[in-house]
Structures are given as C-alpha cells and as structure tokens.
C-alpha cells in the first residue's frame, strides 16, 4: 500500500473517531457546568481541540484524494484557522491553571472569583487574544509562505518556505508565548499539587475531592502540550515520518482531555450517555 494512503487513512480514521467521541464528551461537559464554573473553561478549550482535530481529519482526506482541497492562492486560510484555534487553546492552559490554583489555595473565595459569568468572559478573552495575535501578526509583513499550511507531502502542517519562517518574527513570538505559558502552568499546578498532597490525610468534603480530581485531570491534560513545545524546540522535524509522528502528537494533545475527563471525572461521566431533559 502506498505511504500516502497509509498516512491518509491514519490521519482520517483516528481523528474522525476522536472527534465523534469528543462530541459525546463535550455534551457531558456542557451538562456539568452547573456543578462548577471550571467546566465552562474546559468546554471552551474543548471546542478549540475539536476544531484542530477537524484540520487533521481534512489533511487525511487530502492525502487520500492526492491534492489539497483549497487552491494554493487561498491556502493561507489553513494557517488562519489553525492558529485561530491553537492560540486560544494555549491561552486556556494558562487560564485553567490559574483556575485550579485558585480552587486549591482560595476555596472559600473560589465561587466569587470564578463565577459562571466571569468564566464565560475569561473564555471569550482567550479566544479574542488568540485571534488578535492570529490577525495582528499578519500586519507586520511576514510572507504568506512562512505560515504553516496543509503539507500533504510532509504529512503535517509545514510552511512552504522554511527560510521565510526562520527569518520572520514568528518563531520568537511562538517561543515567548510558549515559555510564558509553561512558566505559569508549572508554577500554578506545582503549588496546587503540593496543597493536594498536604490535604490527603485530612478529612475532605465531597466538593474538595471533586476539585482535587479536576485539578489532577487538568494537570495531566497539559503534559502533552508541554512535551510538544519541548520537541518542537529541540528536535529537527525534517522527514515526512517525523512530521507524521509530530502530527499524531498534536492529535493526542487535542484529544487527551476527552479521555481523561470521563475516565477520572465522575461529574462528567454520569452525564455521558444520559438523555437531555
């Protein structure tokens, strides 16, 4: 079987199955919002995850078809859609880490600090900032060839001209965003885990146990993202098979939340297959 067909089948079937499952999970997350404002943030990030998975599904279809679906003169829209989802997703990592830090360190003030209204506003700000970057960076004269697009020949998202990417401000801005995100996330979850460990031997209410489990889930959800950042900064992805592996790393990063929450989150799990009232 041709390599492109194998890669195309993998990038079509696996993301498709994950998207279907994620749609079931995100419905359960929506029904869990009344239990905690945190689920508003998780729901918002889940939307970004699903939109990114759709891009990989489309890439797989293009590999099977043998040609891109969008003409080259309009292919910039690939990167607009990808960055427009990836950057809000990245912002949500920071937001959710701060949310979990507050839940562990200021439990009595949590409902005031993270009311449903404030969580909705915070989520919308993440989408706004992510897309402000997405469109704002295009005003500084970066060549279109520097942006990542569907590169069916390399089994992933790559710029048409690597030199244009390297000589632009994109790598610097990406690095600054990722390092800032990593520092905030590690600091927030580090403090939260220390508090969870200190409270393990003491009596905790049901609400405290739920918040602790949710904190651990959100922490584990961040690990693949941090791993991708390290790999992209330290490894040269110069073959199509390395790119395919990296693409599946991105797929895993965008789907792990749909696995962790039903597995360890009893609040969401009880809504998975219930009918809407």
For 171-220, how does the pLDDT look when each residue is reduced to its tens digit (9 = 90+)? 899 989 999 999 999 999 999 888 877 776 666 666 677 778 888 889 99
pLDDT category, 241, cuts 50, 70, 90?
confident
Q: Which element (helix H / strand E) includes 223?
A: helix 206-234
pTM of the model: 0.90
Its CATH architecture, for the domain 3-145+154-269, is Up-down Bundle (1.20)
SS3 159: strand
- Please state, in angstroms and rounded to a whole number, the distance separating the CA atoms of residues 66 and 239: 19
Each residue's pLDDT tens digit, 86-133: 999 999 999 999 999 998 888 888 888 999 999 999 999 999 999 999
Which residue in 157, 131, 162 sits closest to 145, CA to CA? 162
Contact 144, 76 (CB under 8 A): yes
- Please state, in angstroms and rounded to a whole number, the distance separating the CA atoms of residues 177 and 226: 12
Number of Cβ atoms within 10 Å of the Cβ of 127: 19
């Amino acid at each position: 079987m041709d390599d492109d067909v194998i890669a195309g089948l993998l990038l079509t079937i696996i993301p498709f199955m994950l998207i279907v499952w994620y749609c079931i999970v995100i419905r359960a997350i929506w029904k869990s919002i009344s239990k905690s404002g945190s689920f508003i943030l998780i729901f918002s990030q889940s939307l970004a995850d699903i939109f990114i998975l759709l891009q990989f599904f489309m890439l797989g279809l293009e590999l099977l078809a043998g040609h891109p679906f969008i003409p080259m003169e309009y292919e910039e829209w690939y990167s607009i859609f990808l960055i427009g989802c990836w950057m809000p997703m990245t912002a949500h990592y920071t937001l959710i880490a701060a949310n979990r830090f507050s839940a562990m360190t200021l439990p009595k003030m949590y409902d005031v600090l993270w009311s449903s209204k404030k969580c909705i506003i915070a989520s919308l700000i993440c989408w706004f900032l992510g897309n402000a970057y997405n469109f704002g960076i295009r005003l500084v004269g970066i060549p279109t060839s520097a942006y990542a697009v569907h590169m069916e020949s390399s089994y992933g998202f790559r710029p048409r001209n690597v030199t244009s990417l390297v000589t632009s401000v994109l790598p610097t801005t990406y690095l600054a965003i990722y390092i800032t995100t990593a520092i905030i996330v590690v600091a927030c979850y580090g403090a939260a885990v220390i508090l969870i460990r200190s409270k393990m031997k003491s009596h905790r209410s049901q609400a405290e146990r739920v918040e602790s489990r949710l904190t651990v889930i959100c922490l584990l959800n961040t690990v693949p993202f941090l791993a991708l950042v390290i790999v992209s900064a330290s490894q040269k992805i110069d073959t199509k098979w390395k790119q395919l592996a990296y693409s599946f790393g991105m797929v895993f990063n965008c789907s792990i939340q749909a696995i962790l929450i039903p597995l360890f989150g009893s609040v969401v799990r009880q809504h998975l297959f219930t009918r809407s009232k």
